[in-house]
A and B are shown apart, each in its own frame.
Chain A
């Protein structure tokens, strides 16, 4: 028996140990790595950024808003939570009106947690004025609310998570339905904006974006091509890309550089995020994770190769023995 054949017999708990080490080591030894942004992420970023008020415009007057829908529980939080944090940070930094909503009871605390995580860094941002948490609405009301918001958001949602009448909130000035709340971002490990595409987009023409776990990412390309999905954040990589875009543009110290530009993205001075102490860990969680992801992917590829070499050697030997 040669080494490859012996490796085939290995107890899987040894493999588990290798997996654990491959992930722990890159997390405790930080190093910089470049994040390459992709088109589906950039498209979303640019659309959301276009909702920001102009320099002479009061944020409250702006007639554009974004809805973030949390359609996931803690199980897929590792992938989706960094996306939510990155988008909320973008909105708060650029004073973009943003709403949050969920139809899953287990997503309600995640929503609070995401908002609070980002809000700590933006003391000037106020609930009811810059953002509103619509809170948890029971699942059976999903379709009625999706359709209802096409007519009138205040009526369909009725009250927010704090029990306030939506119609009485200052943020609702100039915001009535999907004509103004023009983008819905659905974060999900299962639906990828499904109901929003079928109902909000088909009937009212709302833009729909998806923050999906990587498992579902490949399935979304037909919808991206037809424009039914405006853009997509795919798994931890998508979150890392968005984190970078927010760092480079939305929170740029120089106001002249807050517009999206491909030139600025290529600037290598933005590649030191992981070791840069000025960027808080919570705003680079996905990029730190991507380092471990790098090592883990190489590990999996090596596993596939070793497994296959062993397989072909065994097959060859069996053939020789007739």
Chain B
């Protein structure tokens, strides 16, 4: 029962949606409008999940005094304070809430990912080796594409570098990405179909 009713909901709604795609009728658009209104009413509660997960993880870290547990206090205080700022002073431009986001969250988020520039440089120095014919082709294609993207490529090798890059991207690259995309596309359809027919059930979690 605990599994079969949710499963039935997925299958019934799923087939109604198949109908919605193919049947342009008032009943089908009415069904869609009903679904949308209900989804909207359900939507805010999903966010609670993420917040609860963070609170639980970090309070557990503090309780069990795991190494570096002190930093979890920083996370919890930052979360409570940011949320409080949003409720107390609003979320519009010019509020403390937005200030926190723009001067604390945004710069750190952007910088975390920019560290990758250093690691890819160090990897290209220490790891990218032409160990086989295939690896050599890969490296050559990469070098040409890199040169084709920047103005200095043309200054060094003439406009021909742009044409070669264009060819690589539009011919061998296109063929290779299409082959892979078709595989992924078929996989996606197969997975959706398995869910629709109730064969794939892992999204419902474990247990009975």
Contact = CB atoms under 8 A, between A and B. Distances in A.
Interface of A: 8, 10, 12, 15-16, 18-19, 23, 33-36, 38, 73-78, 106, 109-110, 112-113, 116, 138, 140-141, 144, 147-148, 151, 156, 203, 214, 218-223, 225, 235, 237, 290-291, 293-301, 303-304, 306-308, 311
Contact of B29 (A141, A151, A295, A298): A151
Classify the secondary structure of B's interface with A. Answer: helix
B52 interface: no
B118 to A, nearest CB: 5
Given A74-B106, A77-B110, A78-B114, A307 B128 contact: yes
A299 B125 CA distance: 10
Given A19-B117, A36-B154, A138-B43, A304 B109 contact: no
A225 B174 contact: yes
Contacts of B169: 218, 221
B80 interface: no
Interface in B130-182: 130, 139, 143, 145-147, 149-155, 159, 162, 166, 169-170, 173-174, 177-178, 181
A74 B110 contact: yes
A129 to B, nearest CB: 20
B150 A306 contact: no
Contact of B121 (A33, A76, A110, A299): A299
Interface of B: 21, 29, 32, 35-36, 39-40, 42-44, 46-47, 93, 98, 101-102, 105-107, 109-110, 112-114, 117-118, 120-122, 124-130, 139, 143, 145-147, 149-155, 159, 162, 166, 169-170, 173-174, 177-178, 181
B128 A222 contact: no
A77 to B, nearest CB: 5
A23 B118 CA distance: 11
A236 to B, nearest CB: 9
Contacts of A141: 36, 39-40, 43
A294 B166 CA distance: 18
B115 to A, nearest CB: 9
A106 B173 CA distance: 33
A37 to B, nearest CB: 10
A285 to B, nearest CB: 14
Given A19-B117, A294-B150, A300 B124 contact: yes
B44 A297 contact: no
11 contacts: A19-B121, A23-B117, A75-B112, A109-B101, A148-B36, A218-B169, A222-B174, A294-B150, A294-B152, A307-B124, A311-B129
Nearest to A105: B47
A144 B40 contact: yes
Contact of A297 (B93, B126, B152, B173): B152
Nearest to B20: A147
Nearest to A33: B151
Contacts of B106: 74, 77, 109-110
Interface centre among B101, B112, B125, B178 (most CB of A within 10 A): B125
A38 B109 CA distance: 30
A219 B101 CA distance: 32
Nearest to B179: A222
Nearest to B120: A300
B162 A36 contact: yes
A141 B128 CA distance: 43
Given A106-B101, A304-B124, 13 more contacts: A15-B118, A15-B125, A33-B151, A36-B151, A36-B162, A73-B109, A74-B110, A203-B21, A214-B149, A294-B152, A296-B121, A307-B124, A308-B139
